[in-house]
Amino acid sequence: MTSPEPAGCLILAATPMGQADDASPRLRMALESADIVAAEDTRRARNLASALDVTIGGTLLSYYDQVEAARTPGLVSSIAEGSTVLLITDAGMPSVSDPGFKLVAACAEAGLRVTCLPGPSAVTTALAVSALPSERFCFDGFAPRRPGPRREWLAGLIDQSRTTVFFESPHRLADTLADAVDVLGGDRRAAVCRELTKTYEEVRRGSLAELSEWAADGVRGEITVVVEGGSAEQKGMDELVDDVVALVADGMRLKDACAAVTQAGGASRRDLYQAVLERRRREDPQSP
């Protein structure tokens, strides 16, 4: 069988997220014909080939986060010498929150051909089934792991008008949704997509408060979260701080002013209080 792409080429190939039948005919052909198959997990690559009833014809080597930098120069050299390199990850599209970006960037820098075999993507699949606006959206990769950076990241979504898609670990989902309720408000709509395309696929739609309550008991599987964009009426943190400062100037205690401003939603009382103190420190380093 002949190669689906010219020699001296990097092929990024999307792989099935759960159902082997989602693999494209071009992926089957590329697995058989590529000179090198660089896989995030070589065992999964072999299992995929077996499920598709094809034989990996070239050299199979691992290409995961910890070896990405070390393996990239050799793969670039192979492509420059005329080899076809097929890059696959465990599921979905390489370089999208998966290994691949370094290799694509290095090939582009070297003027080498890079092409793609399109296919499954958890990002667009989740967006499509979320029942949330999809004409404009952004993808934010994985949510930050630590509480502080995570809440700061969520604060950046307060006035984000586009639908946001992100990945989350099942072990952190409950904490992330609880933080989202505090920062974004419990009424904002969202969808939690679990095990997309697999036997136990589940899509939960509702408000952030409802989803947070559901996730509190624990959730398993691979998770993609979709959150609706903020409305034009929702204020960013700087505007909320302005409102607090105005109330304090009129004689209200700081904690009471923060409570009054956060009643309308859009930020947690604690985050707003800290934001006011931070502004005070910026404007007056001697301020307590």
For position 288, what pLDDT does the model report? 58
Q: Which of 96, 120, 144 is the last residue of a domain?
A: 120
- The pLDDT of residue 185 is above 90: no
Residue 85 near residue 79 (C-beta atoms within 8 A) = yes
Domain identity same for 272 and 176 = no
Strand partners, 39: 62, 88
Sheet of 9-13, strand order: 59-62, 36-39, 84-88, 9-13, 113-117
Instruction: Tell me: do 130 and 95 sit in the same domain.
Output: no
Q: How far is CA 233 from CA 11, 131, 152, 184, in A?
A: 45, 22, 20, 13
Domain assignment present for 67:
yes
Output the domain CATH number for residue 174: 3.30.950.10
Count structural domains, the chain.
3
Which of 99, 120, 141 is the last residue before a domain boundary? Answer: 120
Q: Is residue 65 part of a domain?
A: yes
Does residue 105 lie within any of the structural domains?
Answer: yes
CA angle 265, 172, 264 (to 5 degrees): 0
Both structure tokens of 214: 């559901």
Average pLDDT over residues 10-36: 96
User: What domain range is 252 assigned to?
Assistant: 237-283
Q: How far apart are CA 190 and CA 202, in angstroms?
A: 14
Domain identity same for 114 and 176: no
My answer on whether 140 and 105 are in the same domain is no
Higher-confidence position of 229 and 264? 229
The answer as to whether 288 is a domain residue is no
What's the mean per-residue pLDDT of the chain?
A: 91
* CA 6 vs CA 79, 119, 140, 237, 269: distances in Å: 11, 20, 34, 52, 59
At residue 269 the predicted structure's pLDDT band, cuts being 50, 70 and 90, is confident
pLDDT confidence of residue 3: 46
In a domain, 3, yes or no: no
Tell me the mean pLDDT in the region 201-228. 96
Of 183, 204, 227, which residue is a domain's last?
A: 227
Kindly write down the DSSP assignment for every residue of 156-211, as one continuous string: TTTT--SEEEEEE-TTTHHHHHHHHHHHH-TTSEEEEEESTTSTT-EEEEEEHHHH
Residue 259 lies in a domain: yes
Mark whether 211 and 161 lie in a shared domain: yes
184 and 141 in one domain? yes
Residue 90 counted as domain residue: yes
Q: Rounded to whole angstroms, how far apart are CA atoms 220 and 239?
A: 38
Statement: residue 4 has pLDDT above 90: no
- Give the Cα separation of 215 and 190 in Å (integer): 13
* CATH number of the domain that residue 81 is part of: 3.40.1010.10
263 in the same domain as 222: no
In a domain? residue 232? no
Distance set, CA 24 to CA 27, 30, 85, 226, 276 (Å): 5, 10, 17, 26, 54
How many residues does the structure list for the chain? 288
